[in-house]
């Protein structure tokens, strides 16, 4: 096999909504499936484990002191991922067994922030099954701010994958020029954008980032239908009654080449694994006339400073 080439897989799936363990089991099945067995990297959507907070826009999520909102937040907290407790171990084991790196979106219950606030995090698990980075979303969007805290720069990291250097961002972070620039400066040439779903989010920005960075760009979305709302979650009847569309998230996963041409056009309204083999030679061709962190940058005039310290509210100094 050409050392310049890797195979990437986009896993566009629905969660077992607001059920952490069942969704993790579904993710493991897709990592180990025949369709993704030859992939060097498999990517899942934003907030997939245990799911995106779709109830907010359906149930007056901004109503202060609402018992309904408090119930749902408490349930969300219970079903969130605590990495320190080993919740991601089945996925790490599957990645190691399959020799496949994984990008996946989780709702993180962060121990170093008291364990009662939630972060929309993008986790990279390498081929050895190690959690190599956890990127907490820098700025939640609109109603997301009612349940997600703001993240920090610790996860603005890239990783070697064959000939490629891979990095990524959550959802509308991909519109933020400076986080993109932070990844470009580290040599990123395979950019991963994860989304809760919807064609409207992925069809323009995927190709735009590819052209700006002269990199391959993979956008992976989740999928969500009213029928995916379990009757067992708190206030399920109210949430289902407020659903008036066929899809809460209709997918839109896609893959662009560094020249902005589609390799896989946006895929909508169905679950599936979509694979493609990409060639790093194409990156090197396109960088000939534009390299945003190299010969087409002017660090003598403009520079970016990035704070990658994991933020916490306290630093303990112990005498021991």
φ and ψ at residue 27, rounded to 5 degrees: -60, -45
Report in angstroms the alpha-carbon separations of 257 from 12, 25, 209, 254, 280. Answer: 19, 32, 10, 10, 10
CB 258 within 8 A of CB 232: no
**Could you give the CA distance from residue 145 to residue 79 in angstroms, rounded to a whole number?**
18
| Nearest Cα residue to 168 out of 124, 130, 205, 207 | 124
Active site residues: 46, 137, 171
Chain CA centroid to CA 200, Å: 17
Walk across the sheet containing 101-109 and list its strands.
131-136, 118-125, 101-109, 41-43, 5-12, 272-279
Chain CA centroid to CA 207, Å: 18
Give the number of other Cβ atoms within 10 Å of residue 149's Cβ: 16
**Could you give the CA distance from residue 121 to residue 56 in angstroms, rounded to a whole number?**
19
Question: What sections of 32-150 are H helices per DSSP?
Answer: 55-58, 67-79, 89-98
**Could you give the CA distance from residue 135 to residue 285 in angstroms, rounded to a whole number?**
30
Question: What sections of the chain are H helices per DSSP?
Answer: 20-31, 55-58, 67-79, 89-98, 177-184, 199-202, 205-213, 236-241, 280-286
Report in angstroms the alpha-carbon separations of 180 from 3, 24, 186, 198, 293. Answer: 26, 29, 10, 21, 11
């Amino acid at each position: 096999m050409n050392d310049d080439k890797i195979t990437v897989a986009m896993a566009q799936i629905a969660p077992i909504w607001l059920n952490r363990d069942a969704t993790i089991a579904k993710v493991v099945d897709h990592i180990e499936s025949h369709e993704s067995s030859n992939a060097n990297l498999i990517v899942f959507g934003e907030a997939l484990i245990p799911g995106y907070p779709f109830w907010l826009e359906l149930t007056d999520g901004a109503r202060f002191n609402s018992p309904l909102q408090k119930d749902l937040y408490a349930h969300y907290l219970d079903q969130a991922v605590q990495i320190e407790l080993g919740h991601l171990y089945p996925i790490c084991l599957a990645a190691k067994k399959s020799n496949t790196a994984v990008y996946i979106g989780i709702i993180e219950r962060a121990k170093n922030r008291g364990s009662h606030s939630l972060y929309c995090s993008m986790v990279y698990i390498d081929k050895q099954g190690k959690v190599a980075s956890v990127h907490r979303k820098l700025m939640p969007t609109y109603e997301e701010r009612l349940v997600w805290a703001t993240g920090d720069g610790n996860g603005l990291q890239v990783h070697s994958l064959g000939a490629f250097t891979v990095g990524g961002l959550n959802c509308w972070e991909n519109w933020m020029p400076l986080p993109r620039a932070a990844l470009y400066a580290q040599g990123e040439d395979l950019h991963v954008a994860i989304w809760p779903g919807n064609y409207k989010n992925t069809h323009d920005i995927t190709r735009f980032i590819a052209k700006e960075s002269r990199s391959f760009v993979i956008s992976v979305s989740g999928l969500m239908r009213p029928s995916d709302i379990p009757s067992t979650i708190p206030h399920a009847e109210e949430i289902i009654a407020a659903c008036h569309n066929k899809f809460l998230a209709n997918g839109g996963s896609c893959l662009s080449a560094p020249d902005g041409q589609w390799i896989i056009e946006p895929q909508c309204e169905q679950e599936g694994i979509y694979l493609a083999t990409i060639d790093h030679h194409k990156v090197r061709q396109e960088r000939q006339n534009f390299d945003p962190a190299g010969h087409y940058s002017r660090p003598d005039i403009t520079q970016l400073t990035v704070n990658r310290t994991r933020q916490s509210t306290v630093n303990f100094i112990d005498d021991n």
